[in-house]
Structure 1
Amino acid sequence: MQLNISPRPWVKIPVEIAARELEAKLFLTHVLARKGWGVLIGQENLVRSAIATSVSGIQYDKSIAAGMKKYLMEAQSRGDYFTAHCEEGLVYLDPQTYIRRKICPANFMAADAFFFWGNQQYGDVTTALNIDYPHTITGNPRIDLLRKDMQNCYKDSSTWLKNKLGEFILINTKFGRYNPFIGREIFYQQAKGAWGIIKTPAEDEKFRASVKQQEFMYHKTLHLIDRLAKEFSSQKIVIKPHPAENWFPYVQRYANAANIHVAMHGASNQWLAAAQQVIHNSCTTGIEAFLLGKPVYSYEPYEDTSQDAELPALLSTRIKTEDELMESIVNAPPVNDREKRNKLAEEYMANLSEDMAAVRIANHFNTLIPPIKKVTFAVRHMLCLSEINTHHTENSHYWLEASYGTRQDYKMQKFPAFTTATVAGTLQRFSQVLESIEDMTVAEVEPNLFCVYSNI
C-alpha cells in the first residue's frame, strides 16, 4: 500500500545491536515524533539502503570511527546532516586505545554533530585530539530509560518475567574475544585487519592477554553458575550472554539444568529490571544495574585488573572469591557510599538529571534546519498507537521470545526479526510513562525497517 506523509523534517536512525540500543533509539524516535519529525529506524544496513536514502534529513549514527567515513561522506554528499554518538563511549579500557579505535579525527571534524555521553568522554577526546570543537554533551538515550522517572517502562516486562521464571539471579557475560560467535581465529584475523584493533606487536600482545583473561573468567563463571544453581536451587539462575558471543555453548551445557535459563532474547534493561541481583565482570550492565538500584556484584577473582574497564567495577560491589559472593547474595549488604558513586556516575553520564538526552538531541537537531519534505512510501503494514493494547503479549513481550534463527545467522543474533506491533507496543509504553496523548503511526517499509511519525 502507498503511504503519503505530510511535510516534516526527517531523521534516519541505524541500529546495529538491538539488545544494546534499539529501545533507547525508539525512545529518541518517540521524542522526535512528538516534536513533529518523521523517523526512519531499523537494522543499520536497511536504514542506509536506497529506500532510506531517498529521504533527505539528518542521519544519527552509531560512531565516528575510521570505518564510518564512507557513510559520513555518502550522507553529506546527498545533502544529509551526519550526526553520531559513540555507542562504546561510556565504557573503555583506557582513553588512548579507545580514541585510536573509535574516534577518527577527520570524521570528528567533518560530522555535523557529535554527542558525548558526559564530561569524562568529552575531556578524554578533546584533550587527546587537542581540539576544542563545538560538539555537544547530551548524555545517551540509553541512560534516559534508566532514570527513576522512566523506570516504569519495565514494570510490565518485569512482572511477566517474574511470573514466568520466579525470582532470579542474573549473570551477564562478556567473553566476545574468547567465545566469539564467528570463532576465535576469524575474530583474531578481523582484529588484525578490518577492525583495526591490532596494528603493532604491543597491541597484539595486549589482545592475546585479553583473550587469556577472558578464557580464565569464562571457566570461572561457568564454575560459579554451577555452584549458584546448586546452592540456590529454589530460584532461577539466568545467563544473559553478550550479543557478540556464541550463545550455544551455554545452551548446550545447561540444556537439562532445572534452574538455569539462558536468555537469548530481549533488551538488557528488561532482564536487569526483573532481576533480584546482578553479577558481571567489566560490563556495561554493571552500570545499568546500579542505575536501576539493583544489588550488583563485579566478580574479579584475580589481582591484575589491567584488562578491566574501571566504571562498571566502581559502581558495583567488588568481589574476589566465590565464597564471598555466595555470602553477599544471601545477605545483600547495603551500598554505603551510594552518594559518592552517584557523583562519579554524573561525570560519565550527563543526563542522569535535568533534561533527558533524547530531548537535548532533538533540540540540537532543530538548530541544523533540515529540509521539510512530503514523503511517500510503499509499506507492508501500518499500525497506530491508539489501535493497540500494550498489555497484549504480542506487543509487550514478543521481543522476549523472539526467534534468533540458526547459529550461523549472526546478523539475526544482533538484530532479530521485529514486527510493527512490537515497535508500536514499545512506543506506546513510552507514551504511558510520559503521559503523552499524541497518537503515532508505525509503518513497516520492509522487514526491520520502520517509519514513525505523529498523527497530529
Structure 2
Amino acid sequence: MGAEPGLSARTCSIWICFLMTKTLILPAEVMSRELDARLLQGVMALDRGWRVITGSKALLNRIIWRLPPSVYLCQTVTHKRRKLLDLIARLGHISYGWDEEGLIYLNRETYLSRRVSSQTLELLQEFITWGEQSSADVEERAGAAGLVPKPWGNPRFDLLRPELRDLYRKEVDELHRQYGDYILVNTNYGMVNPIISIDPNKPKKAAKQDRGSADLPVKYSEFVEYRRTIFEAFKDMLAPMARQFPDMTIVVRPHPGEEFSTWAELGQGIENLEIVREGPSIPWQIGAKALVHNNCTTAAESACIGHTPIAYCPVFSEENECGLPNLISHRVDTLDALMVAIKAAVEGQLEMSADQRAVLDHHVANVSGPMCTRQVLDLCEELYQKQQATKQSGMSKQLAKSIGAARNLHKSMRINHQTDIYIPKVFPEIEPPVIAARASLIAETLNLPFAVNATQLSKNVFELHKVAPS
C-alpha cells in the first residue's frame, strides 16, 4: 500500500523511524534532588541510541497517554501508584522501578506498610534497591510479586563520584564567592513542617495484606512526636551556632517537602544565617566545611563525598532511629558538643571509622565500582527487547488512551488541589535552554562527543536530542 496523498516517502520514513525508536521515560518528582540524575541517565541513554523524555513526574504522567510506548521509570512503589502503572502497561509501556525514598526509613515493618505495595510491585518488570539492607527488607514482598531485588544503588549517588564532581565545580566556586566558608544544616521535617497541610499520622493507603501489625499506627505516631521534638531543637540551635561561628555563614537548606517560611522567619535578624533552597543539593555538600543533620539522606551523600557528617541528637530513642544516617555520623547530644564537633570538622579533624564505612557500604551499593546508571541502562536494553516481543491489543491501547486523556482533563480542571499546590514547589518551571545546558555539561563531563538540545513537549516535560557540540 502506498503512502497517503500529500505524504512524501521521506516523511513516511521519518514516522517509521519514530515508531521504531526505543524510548526511555525518566520522571523526576523533586527537581533539586533528582533532575541531575535523570539527565545523567538520559545523556548516557542518548549515547546508546535511545529517545529520551524527562521532566516533572506529575506533569509527565498526565500526558503519558499521548507519548510513545517506552521503558518507563517508576520511582515510587506505594499503593496509590498501582492504577497509573496499570494504565501505563495497557498503553504499551514496560516499567521498572525503585523507591526514591527507600534509603532512609524507620524500620522494615513501617517501610513495607507505608511505601512498598504488593500490588504495585506486581506491575513492575524489575525492582532496584539502594543496597543490601533494603534488598533484604523487601526480598519477601518482591519475591511474592515475582521479582528479585537488584541492590544497585541509585543514579543520584553516581553524581557523587570523583570523576563526575567537575559537573559542580563552577557552582561550588560560586557558593564560596557568595557565602564564603559555610556550615550546612540540612533539615528533613516534612512530616511536622509540611509544605502542604497533611496529617502525618494518617495511615497510608495500603492493601490489607500490606498493612502490618495492629499497633503500627501507634508506633508511627510516637515517631512523629519524636521528630517534632528534634525539629524544635534544630530551630533553637541556629542562633547559638551563628553566634559561635561569626566569621562563617550558617546555611539552612530545608527539605523540598518542608514549608520554607518556617525556617525563613528564623533567619530574620541574624546576619550570618541564610535560608536557601535553590539549586541541586550536591554542590552545597561538596563546598560545606561541616554538615549538621538528624536522620537525613544527605548524611549518606556527604559520607560518599568523603566528609564526616555531624548528627545532632538532642533526644534519643533507639526504636525511633532510622537505620543509616546517624550511624555513619559523628553523633552529639548537646549544643556544647555540637559546637566542638563543628570546629573539628571545619579544621578537618573528623573522620569516619571503618565500621561506619562498612555500614554505609551495606546500605548504599556502588559507592565505587560499577556505576548504577550503566547497570540500569543495560537492564533497560533487556526490557526494550521484552517490550518488542509483547503484542498489545489495539482496542485495549485505544481504551487506555481515552482513560489517560480523561484523567488529564480531570486533573487540569481541579482548583486549589493540594497536589497542584505541591508540584510547582518541588519542581518549579524550567525552560528548555536550561535543561539543554545542564545536559550538555553532563555530556562534556562524561567526555561524550555531543552536546544536548531539549524541546518542550508540555509544561516541564522535555525531549532530549543529541547535537554537535558548539
TM tier, smaller: 0.7 to 0.9
1:397-420 superposed Cα distances (whole Å, 9 cap, x missing partner): xxxxxxxxxxx9432111111121
1:181 equivalent in structure 2? 195
Match of 2:81 in 1: 68
Give 1:426's aligned residue.
438
412-421 or 163-172, which moves further after superposition? 412-421
Match of 2:363 among 334, 348, 359: 348
SS in 1 for 2:215: helix
Asked if the contact 2:28/2:55 (under 8 Å) is kept, the reply is: yes
Secondary structure of 1:440's counterpart equals: strand
Match of 2:203 in 1: 192
Question: Is residue 254 of structure 1 aligned with residue 272 of structure 2?
Answer: no
Indicate the residue corresponding to 1:233 in structure 2: 246
Q: Secondary structure at the match of 1:234?
A: coil
Aligned-pair distance for 1:199?
8.4
Deviates more, 1:410-419 or 1:120-129: 120-129
- 1:393 equivalent in structure 2: none
Equivalent residue number for residue 43 of structure 1: 56
Q: Structure 1, residues 421-454: CA drift from partner, whole Å, max 9, x if none?
A: 2212221221222111123321112221110133
Secondary structure of the structure 1 residue equivalent to 2:54: strand
2:428 to 416, 436, 446: 416
Q: Distance in 2 between matches of 1:64 and 1:192?
A: 16
What do residues 98-156 of structure 1 show as CA deviations (whole Å, max 9, x unaligned)? Answer: 11222222332331111122221111111456657344332210110112222222111
Task: Tell me, in whole angstroms, the C-alpha distance in 2 between the residues paired with 1:421 and 1:128.
Answer: 43
**Alpha-carbon separation, structure 2, partners of 1:51 and 1:367:** 22
Contact 1:198–1:204, Cα closer than 8 Å, also in 2: no
Encode CA deviations 1:342-379: one digit per residue, 9 max, x unaligned: 3322222222122211111111111122459xxxxxxx
Equivalent position to 1:80, from 93, 96, 99? 93
| 8 Å CA contact 1:171, 1:237 repeated in 2 | yes
| Residues 1:90 and 2:122 are matched in the alignment | no
Q: Take 1:355 and 1:154, find their aligned partners in 2: how far apart are those partners?
A: 21
Deviation at 1:193, TM superposition (A): 5.9
The question of whether the paired residues in 2 share the 8 Å contact of 1:90 and 1:117 is answered with yes
Which structure 2 residues correspond to residues 23-34 of structure 1 after superposition, within 5 A? 23-34=36-47
Deviation at 1:94, TM superposition (A): 0.6
1:135-146 matches, cutoff 5 A: 135-146=149-160
Find out whether 1:265 has 2:268 as its counterpart. Answer: no
The answer to whether the aligner puts 1:11 opposite 2:24 as a matched pair is: yes
Could you tell me which amino acid in structure 2 is paired with residue 144 of structure 1?
Answer: D
> Which one of the candidate residues 207, 211, 214 is aligned to 2:224?
211
Q: What is the total number of aligned residue pairs between the two structures?
A: 417
After TM superposition, list the pairs within 5 Å mapping 1:17-416 onto structure 2: 17-50=30-63, 53-127=66-140, 131=144, 133-183=147-197, 186-188=198-200, 191-192=202-203, 194=205, 202-332=215-345, 334-368=349-383, 369=385, 370=387, 409-416=421-428
User: Distance between the aligned counterparts of 1:90 and 1:258, measured in 2?
Assistant: 35
* Consecutive unaligned residues in structure 2, runs of 5 or more: 1-10, 390-419
Aligned to 2:464: 452
- Cα distance per residue 1:138-179 (max 9 Å; x no partner): 221011011222222211111011101111101011111221
CA 1:95–1:43 in structure 2 vs 1: closer, same or farther (change >3 Å)?
same
- Specify the alignment match of 2:408 in structure 1: none
Of stretches 30-39 and 336-345 in structure 1, the one that deviates more from structure 2 is 336-345
Q: Provide the rounded CA distance (Å) in 2 between the counterparts of 1:80 and 1:193.
A: 27
TM-score using structure 2 length: 0.82
Q: Secondary structure of 1:83's partner?
A: strand
Could you say if the C-alpha distance between residues 103 and 336 of structure 1 is closer, same or farther in structure 2, counting changes exceeding 3 Å?
Answer: same
Aligned-pair CA distance for 1:201: 6.4
